[in-house]
Structure 1
Amino acid sequence: MTAPRGPVNMTKLLAARYRAASDRPYLASALYALSVVPCPDIPTMAVDRHWRCYVSPAFVDATPVEELAGVWMHEAAHLLRDHHGRADRLPAADQRDRYRVNVAQDCEINDDLLADGLRLPDGRVEPRHFGLPDGQIFETYLGQLPPHVRRHDCGSGAHGRPGPWELGGSGSVGPAPLGEVEAQALRRQTAEAMRAHQRGRGTLPAGWRRWAEEVLEPTVDWRQALTGAVREAAAWAGGAVDYTYRRPSRRTPALRGVVLPSLRRPLPRVAVVVDTSGSMGDAELAAALGEVTGVLREVGVRGNRVTVLACDADVHAVSRVTATEQITLGGGGGTDMRVGIDAALAAPDRPSIVVVLTDGLTPWPDETPCCRLIAALIGPAAPQPPRWVETVRVPTG
């Protein structure tokens, strides 16, 4: 539908945007990418997911330019931080409560704006209003907010659900929507401007710093990556087939005097080689080990099919386990994971998957072993193993 249009003081509104872009030049590209839609049906300002900014004429008249500048930055922040995209990934029950999602998002944004010395209108949402600390992301705030929170609706550019006052997508009357490719380019351009601002000895609130780092150097959840690597390797190994005479083929009775073997799909055997050298951190090591054993249980690899070897420059313990708490780690000296890998492959029940938990400060085999080898590298500075090693990085801290 076409949003109702009313008289709006464009001189004051655009002066506020100019002030916002002048005060925080790293936000200028995003601010000027927003197109203005006058809309008397909303109390303040809002954005849709197509980078259109809906503005109440009465709100513009009643709000000082300095505070309007803060609201411009607030609305741009919803879109830069991809709040609507993140809201789309919430559980269905949370998605339906758009107002509560919006309040959590406002908490994520406003603590940064206020910490940056910006003015916002009265009635703004802050984490402290709910007894919550600053500096969290909205997904964290969402689970801690009281139920049935009702505040201002910032539009589908925030919570992802279109309001009745919003314009449609492509082909609708009014300003043209901004596409997702252009939006992603704007996010990256803004993040690069923030990095340049910091290099020039400028300061940024913690939330903006975190956001810019994530855009420029996106991180992958190491648990998800490790889970995916182990699952894929287990599926690969479990998909191998072999012939066995222990269970003759069902076609055998049709062939007198001939016994045909049947095909079998064996469960993989897995060896987990744990670096117990002095440079390893206990917390990260325990977390990675717990993830590996948990994934193996889920895919049906357990009991005597999992072997754990504690290794530094020598193998100190070999055990078959069904739970993480059964594992006893030894060692604490130098580091050579080749010893653990060789010991795993020399066992009578040779594994088809070897998972190495290490800080990476180790030599690696000179050639590809006859198994799938996954390295979970503990710590951001871990050296890169050979290209044929499947690698997952586990951050510290």
Structure 2
Amino acid sequence: MGDLDVAGLDRVKLLAARYRAALDRPYLASALYALSVVPSTAVPTMAVDRRWRCYVSPGFVDATPVEELAGVWIHEVAHLLRDHHGRADRLPAAAHRDRLRVNVAQDCEINDDLVADGVALPEGRLVPGLFGLPPGLLFEAYLPRIPPQANVHDCGSGAHGRSAPWDLRGAAGGIGPVEAGALRRTTAQAMRAHLRGRGDLPGGWRRWADQVLEPVVNWRRMLAGAVREAVAWAGGAVDYTYRRPSRRTPALRGVVLPSLRRPLPRVAVVVDTSGSMGQDDLAAAMAEVAGVLREVGIRGNRVTVLACDADVQAVSRVTDAAQVTLSGGGGTDMRAGIAAALAAPDRPSVLIVLTDGLTPWPAEAPSCRVICVLIGADHSGPPDPPAWAETVRVPAA
């Protein structure tokens, strides 16, 4: 038995368990040591709040072996690293009525990774299999299939986001959201370094680290913004025309002046139909492009869609995106499709290329705006297109 503090908490045993957790999983050390300890007889076991304060029951510490206490340290800090309280805030209002049910779903998200990693946890740990659910999902996916709960472990407001009876008022002894964000990024970087050193991580932690370091962006919003901006840029060009004389012509007595006109841009969409493309992902990207072009008034004969065949590098013109079908061939050379688009009599002012990126590119920049939509691409995929193309990555569904 270690020395007891004024609240009867065996702090030596508790901190020895944290040291063991940090020693066994060094990539969690910064997050573990950021937690401040608050002894409390109101909390049944251990719990955390939004400000990274860890409430600890002295009786629970006395009754729990150091190895399992280390596992509980890891479990509680996982709630904070995965921003469970922030994600819970975004749930529908009806879900907040049963905070323990939310907590159970969150425990399932965490514990399947901890069990797979060999972390010792106290008896009664909650894992997806207890509810007939598969491992590896986020708590938002588990929640609808978790039955109402009672008399289960409450991990506190740092997990389910609702106030707990033991929560301290104010910010004393805690950290704010900026420091919490920095801790998450530091931990994710430590996990990446652990993997580079031939270490191993459960799949859930790998996905979490990837999300923190390379957050998923809304590719639809990016694509829509890129297309709108490019069309606006192309539409900003002006030219002179004598079809409608200038309003100043009557004042010049016999001299006809041309007026300025703002032409409606032409858009060419070059589609990679090679076998490495995913039909569903391609269809989603095509639908987004078509929708944005309709919104900005570009339709009909102002849009040309060219399908670039993989095998023969042939280019066919279709009248609608729905007519594009994948050829099932191998690699492709999108230079043929780009050249065909630029050689057309109705030369485009905006060129949109939909491809998986496994293609060579023209050596020189085309004389128009180019948007490259990489279908099914992630951080480990093909290299970026040339710098003269604006790139939007559409992750695989």
TM bucket (normalised to shorter chain) is 0.7 to 0.9
Corresponding residue for 1:128?
129
TM-score (norm 1): 0.79
Q: CA deviation at 1:329?
A: 5.1
Q: CA deviation at 1:82?
A: 2.4
**2:37 is the alignment partner of 1:40:** no
Uncovered stretches (5+) of structure 1, i.e. residues with no partner:
none
**2:351 is the alignment partner of 1:354:** yes
Corresponding residue for 1:64?
65
Residue identity opposite 1:62 in structure 2: A
Corresponding residue for 1:205?
202
Contact 1:317 1:330 (C-alpha < 8 Å) held by counterparts: no
Corresponding residue for 2:383?
383
Please give the alpha-carbon distance, in whole angstroms, between the structure 2 residues aligned to 1:54 and 1:47: 6
Deviates most, 59-68 or 260-269:
260-269
Corresponding residue for 1:317?
316
Please give the alpha-carbon distance, in whole angstroms, between the structure 1 residues aligned to 2:235 and 2:15: 63
Going from structure 1 to structure 2, the CA distance change for 1:333 and 1:62 (only over 3 Å counts) comes to closer
Number of residues paired by the alignment? 384
| Partner residue of 2:223 out of 223, 226, 231 | 226
**2:140 is the alignment partner of 1:139:** yes
Within-5 A mapping of 1:1-397? 6-91=7-92, 94=95, 98-142=99-143, 144-146=144-146, 148-149=148-149, 151-170=152-171, 172=172, 175=173, 177-234=174-231, 236-237=233-234, 268-277=265-274, 279-297=276-294, 301-312=298-309, 314-321=313-320, 324-328=321-325, 332=329, 335-378=332-375, 379=377, 380-396=380-396
Going from structure 1 to structure 2, the CA distance change for 1:158 and 1:389 (only over 3 Å counts) comes to same
Going from structure 1 to structure 2, the CA distance change for 1:119 and 1:369 (only over 3 Å counts) comes to same
| 2:317 match: secondary structure | strand
Q: CA deviation at 1:198?
A: 3.5
Going from structure 1 to structure 2, the CA distance change for 1:329 and 1:203 (only over 3 Å counts) comes to closer
| 1:103 match: secondary structure | helix
Residue identity opposite 1:59 in structure 2: F
Corresponding residue for 2:3?
none
Contact 1:310 1:330 (C-alpha < 8 Å) held by counterparts: no
Contact 2:355 2:373 (C-alpha < 8 Å) held by counterparts: yes
Please give the alpha-carbon distance, in whole angstroms, between the structure 1 residues aligned to 2:179 and 2:358: 42
Please give the alpha-carbon distance, in whole angstroms, between the structure 2 residues aligned to 1:55 and 1:62: 12
Residue identity opposite 2:35 in structure 1: L
Going from structure 1 to structure 2, the CA distance change for 1:227 and 1:164 (only over 3 Å counts) comes to farther
| 1:106 match: secondary structure | helix
Q: CA deviation at 1:267?
A: 6.2
Contact 1:274 1:357 (C-alpha < 8 Å) held by counterparts: yes
Going from structure 1 to structure 2, the CA distance change for 1:318 and 1:76 (only over 3 Å counts) comes to same
Contact 2:273 2:325 (C-alpha < 8 Å) held by counterparts: no
Please give the alpha-carbon distance, in whole angstroms, between the structure 1 residues aligned to 2:361 and 2:116: 48
Q: CA deviation at 1:239?
A: 6.6
Going from structure 1 to structure 2, the CA distance change for 1:217 and 1:6 (only over 3 Å counts) comes to same
| 2:156 match: secondary structure | coil
Residues 28-84 of structure 1 deviation map (CA, whole Å, 9 limit, x = unaligned): 221111101122223222112221111223333333333222111111111122223
| 2:372 match: secondary structure | strand
Residue identity opposite 1:207 in structure 2: G
Please give the alpha-carbon distance, in whole angstroms, between the structure 2 residues aligned to 1:233 and 1:91: 37
Going from structure 1 to structure 2, the CA distance change for 1:18 and 1:330 (only over 3 Å counts) comes to closer
Q: Percent identity?
A: 72
Deviates most, 41-50 or 214-223:
214-223
Residue identity opposite 2:390 in structure 1: E
Residues 319-357 of structure 1 deviation map (CA, whole Å, 9 limit, x = unaligned): 222xx5333455947633233234334445544432101
Residue identity opposite 1:26 in structure 2: Y
